[in-house]
């Protein structure tokens, strides 16, 4: 499966652009960095900055929280950022157009898919996707049928199930690796979602494997 991350990274491998310039990032100079952290609108139109961790690109004046310097790519033209796989920011609209809700939510789900094992909450997601918590919660639910937090927990439980099936990591370690480092919360949530405790789930899948003649389980 090609992830959003691969798509963004892969795009940098392509070399040419319609401008005949390298499509890859330009240098992040001290002046550009200063423009980004001070939201300096004098630089709007002179360059755009994209953030690798979120897949979003912005105008220098964007009022969003400044990203980590090491995660930034600079593009001369918005089209270059687009063809490198970045999506325009919902807040500063670097292409001049409104970002469709579907694209905005794709940014958020791609971010969750990459970082669900880390501490995440609605505020973090709103920050990285450049929207308000309220609007994000509402739009996410409208488009996917579940809330962002439920989606995160779903990813974590899926990961935990895989680890319980295919690794010998302790239950606490499985929880930690899946982003649920509070052990009692992990056990409670896991049981609520799957009907089993992590330990009994592991036991069950092990039994199923042993009973299966060719040694494969579903």
Q: Give the residue numbers marked as catalytic.
A: 58
Rounded CA-CA distance 51/91 in Å is 14
In the complex with Zn ion, the residue whose CB is nearer, 62 or 74, is 62
In the complex with Zn ion, the residue whose CB is nearer, 91 or 176, is 91
Nearest to 177 by CA among 193, 165, 160: 160
The answer to whether 149 touches 140, Cβ cutoff 8 Å, is: no
The answer to whether 16 touches 33, Cβ cutoff 8 Å, is: no
In the complex with Zn ion, the residue whose CB is nearer, 79 or 173, is 79
The answer to whether 147 touches 183, Cβ cutoff 8 Å, is: no
Q: Which residues contact 73 (CB under 8 A, 6 or more apart)?
A: 24, 25, 28, 49, 50, 51, 52, 81, 84
In the complex with Zn ion, the residue whose CB is nearer, 36 or 157, is 36
Contacting positions for Zn ion (CB under 5 A):
58, 62, 89, 91-92
Q: How is residue 26 annotated by DSSP?
A: B
In the complex with Zn ion, the residue whose CB is nearer, 99 or 157, is 99
The answer to whether 83 touches 11, Cβ cutoff 8 Å, is: yes
Rounded CA-CA distance 77/47 in Å is 6
What is the nearest approach in angstroms of Zn ion to the Cβ of residue 206?
49
Rounded CA-CA distance 131/144 in Å is 17
What is the nearest approach in angstroms of Zn ion to the Cβ of residue 190?
38
């Amino acid at each position: 499966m090609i992830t959003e991350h691969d798509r963004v990274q892969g795009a940098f491998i392509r070399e040419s652009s319609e401008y005949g310039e390298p499509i890859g990032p330009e240098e992040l100079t001290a002046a550009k960095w200063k423009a980004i952290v001070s939201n300096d609108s004098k630089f709007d139109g002179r360059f755009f900055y994209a953030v690798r961790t979120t897949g979003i690109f912005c105008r220098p004046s964007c009022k969003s929280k400044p990203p980590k310097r090491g995660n930034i790519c600079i593009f001369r033209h918005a089209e270059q950022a687009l063809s490198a796989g970045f999506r325009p920011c919902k807040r500063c609209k670097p292409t001049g157009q409104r970002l469709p809700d579907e694209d905005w939510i794709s940014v958020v789900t791609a971010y969750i898919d990459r970082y669900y094992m880390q501490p995440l909450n609605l505020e973090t997601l709103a920050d990285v996707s450049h929207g308000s918590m309220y609007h994000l919660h509402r739009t996410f639910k409208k488009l996917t049928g579940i809330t962002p937090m439920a989606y995160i927990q779903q990813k974590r439980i899926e990961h935990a199930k895989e680890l319980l099936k295919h690794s010998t990591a302790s239950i606490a370690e499985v929880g930690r690796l899946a982003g649920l480092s509070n052990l009692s919360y992990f056990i409670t949530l896991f049981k609520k979602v799957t009907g089993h405790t992590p330990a009994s789930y592991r036991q069950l899948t092990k039994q199923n494997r042993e009973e299966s003649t060719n040694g494969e389980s579903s």
